[in-house]
Amino acid sequence: MEHIDFSLIDWSRAQFALTALYHWIFVPLTLGLSFIIAIMESLYVKTGNPEWKRITKFWMTLFGINFAIGVATGIILEFEFGTNWSNYSWFVGDIFGAPLAIEGIMAFFLESTFIAIMFFGWNKVSKKFHLLSSWLVAIGSNLSALWILVANGWMQNPLGMHFNPDTARNEMGNFWEVLLSPVAVNKFLHTITSGYVLASIFVIGISAWYVLKKRHVNLAKRSMVVAATFGLIASLYLVFTGDGSAKQVAKHQPMKLAAMEGLYYGSDNAPLVAIGVLENTKKPYEEDFLMDLPIPGGLSFLAFGNMNAFVPGIHDLVHGNKEHGIISYNEKIEMGKKAIDALAAYKTLKKENKTDEAAAQLKIFEANFKYFGYGYYFGHNPHELIPPVKLSFYAFHIMVGLGTYFILFFALILYFNLKNKIENKGLILRLAVWTIPLAYIAQEAGWIVAEVGRQPWVIQDLMPTIAAVSKIDSSNVIITFFLFLAVFTALLIAEIKILLAQIKKGPGNLIESSTKN
């Protein structure tokens, strides 16, 4: 096997992670705030109360600032597939490209067409048409996420395709199977719902600041009621989508699940760790808990809906478990190597017009293709296929812990608003302001769970990162990494400054109306 430039691989992964993490700062707010704005404008159209129009236009301004910068980081992210991951881009064929093309043509076009009406059409089109434009912007924003997450879902569970041995590319076999994959559907629903939660917290936190400062109190209180209601519904639904995602991970990515829970040895009635601190042990590739609070049978139920079900641990997956029909990574590596060798032999024999021999090699390839990606680790330690356990474990538990807190947070905010007591709850108002960064931490933790937990796979079981990178000099990636770091950081600082300036300015010359809706 050819020499592997691990420096190139590590820097390419770091650059993509950097871009994705920064991009994901902006996307969730766009997904959620677009719907909150549409709901607020619906209240304006329904009631005719100009205060709702003022409220809508204020949050629309903040939405526009965030939307513009999010688009810039997203474009760079897609370019990196061609620059740093060209082998991956070739291997996935039209499967990855098709959803992204649809996203560009359909969803982005929908956003671009109606966002101008949404911002500049207040006095140029009818109320109802303007409202329709706002809803279409929200739908378009979320459709953008749909197609990107369908592509990502296929990477986590590749199906609906056929590998063409002549071109060494995966070709779309069934578009609907790709689109409606349970992994993709759960990923989409869980991701956009998390965006709704973040946007709701964003609106509540800023509104809480206004109440504390005794500025624009009517705007703040009404905004908080809309956002808390929307956020509470979204956070409860997030539990449902999270449960579905966990079951899909258990089925298709058991190593990710084991890493998320720090589970090294599988068991029946596997416990779910509510709180835990991992520590290194003397054994290689193994960690133990310094302290933990387990829920007996919790992980078994989360993964399979049965508290007595067997959940495989990292040791079972790497070394195999015959009792439960789990083959070892070494066996998968052997089968993957057979597939790689058979593909190379098939292409050579076909060029030499040795049809029968080529057909025989093709059969060997097809019989072992399921573990094609493992073959790239032939001669390597199979433990290299274990994802970073500590990072996956802590990210998962931070995400879940904060998600639980958000449910209680929304309930409290909504209760005190409906009781008209929120102005007297200084502690809760301050907590609301500081919950904004916690929402962003939860978002980034979720991304880390999804992407770091499946390492080293770019496409689950079929292509690892060592086979996906472009053949370029690592120095080019290092230079662009730091250039992107500087640019993205500047963009983030610029957005924060612009947002803070707009928030301090408030809704401008808006006049507080009565509390009557």
pLDDT in 10s for each residue of the chain, 517 residues: 456 778 888 898 999 899 888 888 988 999 999 999 999 999 999 998 999 999 999 999 999 888 877 777 777 777 787 788 888 888 887 787 777 777 777 666 777 778 888 888 888 888 999 999 999 999 888 888 888 888 888 899 998 888 888 888 888 888 888 888 999 999 999 999 999 999 999 999 999 999 999 989 999 999 999 999 999 999 999 999 999 999 999 999 999 999 999 999 999 999 999 888 888 766 667 777 888 888 999 999 999 989 999 999 999 999 999 999 999 999 999 999 999 999 999 999 988 888 889 999 999 999 999 999 999 999 899 999 999 999 999 999 999 999 999 999 999 999 999 988 988 888 999 999 999 999 999 999 999 999 999 999 999 999 999 988 888 888 888 998 999 999 889 988 988 999 999 999 888 654 443 333 3
Residue 77 lies in a domain: yes
99 cis-preceded (ω within 30 degrees of 0): no
State the residue range of the domain holding 131. 24-258+384-505
- Is residue 288 one of the residues assigned to a domain? no
State how far the Cα of 497 lies from the Cα of 221, in Å rounded to an integer.
24
Instruction: Determine contact, residues 170/155, Cβ cutoff 8 Å.
Output: no
How many structural domains is the chain composed of?
1
Q: What is the pLDDT of residue 3?
A: 65
Q: 154 in a domain, yes or no?
A: yes
Answer whether residue 333 is part of any domain. no
**Residue 443 Cα distances to 42, 233, 254, 387, 440, angstroms:** 28, 18, 22, 20, 5
In contact, 400 and 215? CB cutoff 8 Å: no
Q: How many CA atoms lie within 13 A of 516 on its CB side?
A: 3
Contact between residue 369 and residue 461 where contact means Cβ atoms under 8 Å apart: no
Instruction: For residue 334, tell me if it sits in a domain.
Output: no
What integer pLDDT is reported at residue 108 of this predicted model? 67
DSSP state of 40: H
d(CA 396, CA 453): 9
Amino acid in position 445: A
Please say whether the dihedral angle defined by the alpha carbons of residues 307, 233, 200 and 180, taken in this order, is positive or negative. Answer: positive
Structure tokens at 215: 């500025």
User: In Å, how far are 170, 205, 256, 497 from 333, measured between CA atoms?
Assistant: 21, 51, 18, 51
Q: Which helix (H) or strand (E) holds 278?
A: strand 272-280
In a domain, 89, yes or no: yes
The verdict on residue 404 lying in a domain is yes
Where would I find the beta strands (DSSP E) of 103-258?
161-164, 169-172
Q: How far is CA 86 from CA 17, 146, 247, 422, in A?
A: 17, 23, 32, 54
Q: Read out DSSP for 459-480?
A: ETTTEEHHHHS-S--HHHHHHH
| CA dist., res. 53 & res. 208, Å (int) | 20
Which amino acid, one-letter code, is at 240?
F
Query: What's the predicted TM-score (pTM) here?
Result: 0.91
Residue 107's pLDDT is what? Answer: 65
How many C-beta atoms surround the C-beta of residue 378 within 10 A? 15
Name every residue whose Cβ is closer than 8 Å to that of residue 83 and which is 6 or more positions away in sequence.
470, 472
Residue 441 lies in a domain: yes
